[in-house]
Structure 1
Amino acid sequence: MLKPLADADGAPFWRYAAQGELRVQTCSGCGEPRFPPRPCCPHCRSFASAWTATSGRGRIWSYVVAHPPLLPDYAEHAPYDVVLVELAEAPRIRLVGNLVSGAGAPLGSVPRGRLRIGARVQAVFDVDGPSPCPPQWVLERP
């Protein structure tokens, strides 16, 4: 699988993910959460920030089923779903990932018929798998 490249701004995201936590960068000036991580708040222009824990809950805002694979490293998994999840606590933040049946489960482990916009999901992390581990998503109602 692909390994994310962590820059200085995004490194804390991956460090927390490796511990099984979904955190987002939050402006210390105005309190606005932001993703992707960046040095300056786009709302108040403050350079002060902190990493805030989230519940990891959200809903599928959109999705696509990739035929053929969008990336060569995913060729053996095609067709596979890619979901865009809107976080419950921060609806302006949307994270990309895959819908799976459990942490570390393979792509395609959830029947495609269960994939729908608006479905409530929870972030999971394969902390025993390769690091850094991107968040995956499981349905709240399996």
Structure 2
Amino acid sequence: MLTPLVDPDGAPFWEYAAQGELRVQACAGPDCGELRFPPRPCCPHCRSFDSEWRRMSGRGRIWSYVVPHPPLLPAYAAQAPYNAVVVELLDAPRIRLVGNVVAAPDAPLNSVDPARLRIGAGVKVAFTLLDDITVPRWLLERT
């Protein structure tokens, strides 16, 4: 499994994920409040260095997806066919996260038939512990 690289700007994202919360960095500068992902030290809109982490509902929709054939990395060959999705958050449509749609939080990457995936399909976040880091995954809202 590929594990995320945790840097100082993104560390709070992973800390909240470990608590089962999906949070996104927001500008705390005066009159701004813009959400941003990936996390970074400076707001690209107003250039403020003040930020906060806002809790999201954890609901989204599949904005894009791919089923790699053959798997791009040998370590994933046994899990094929699996998906990689880009999820647009419902409460922050300009924020998109990359992950996998699975049947349950701890299910393998190939636990959802790729034929069930559709652009626009509703998903909700679920968290699972992988290699000492809690990562968000996505569950289809309709089965």
TM over 0.5: yes
Question: Partner residue of 2:14?
Answer: 14
Aligned residue type for 2:59: R
Q: How far apart are the structure 2 equivalents of 1:36 and 1:72?
A: 27
Any unmatched runs of 5+ in structure 1? none
Runs of 4+ residues deviating >6 angstroms? none
**When the two structures are aligned, how many residues end up with a matched partner?**
141
Deviation for aligned residue 1:102: 1.1
Deviation for aligned residue 1:72: 3.4
User: SS of 2:52's equivalent?
Assistant: strand
Question: Partner residue of 2:137?
Answer: 136
Residue 92 of structure 2 corresponds to residue 81 of structure 1: no
Question: Partner residue of 1:66?
Answer: 68
Deviation for aligned residue 1:68: 1.5
Question: Partner residue of 1:45?
Answer: 47
Aligned residue type for 1:50: E
Any unmatched runs of 5+ in structure 2? none
Q: How far apart are the structure 1 equivalents of 2:53 and 2:20?
A: 14
User: SS of 2:83's equivalent?
Assistant: strand
Kept after mapping to 2: 8 A contact 1:22/1:53: yes
Question: Partner residue of 1:123?
Answer: 125
Q: How far apart are the structure 1 equivalents of 2:19 and 2:131?
A: 12
* Greater strand content: 2
User: SS of 2:102's equivalent?
Assistant: coil
Q: How far apart are the structure 1 equivalents of 2:134 and 2:82?
A: 18
Percent identity over the alignment? 68
Kept after mapping to 2: 8 A contact 1:67/1:80: no
Deviation for aligned residue 1:19: 1.4
Query: Residue by residue, what CA displacement relative to the aligned partner does 1:60-109 show, whole Å, maximum 9, x if unpaired?
Result: 00000011222333222122110100001111110000000111111121
| TM-score, scaled relative to structure 1 | 0.94
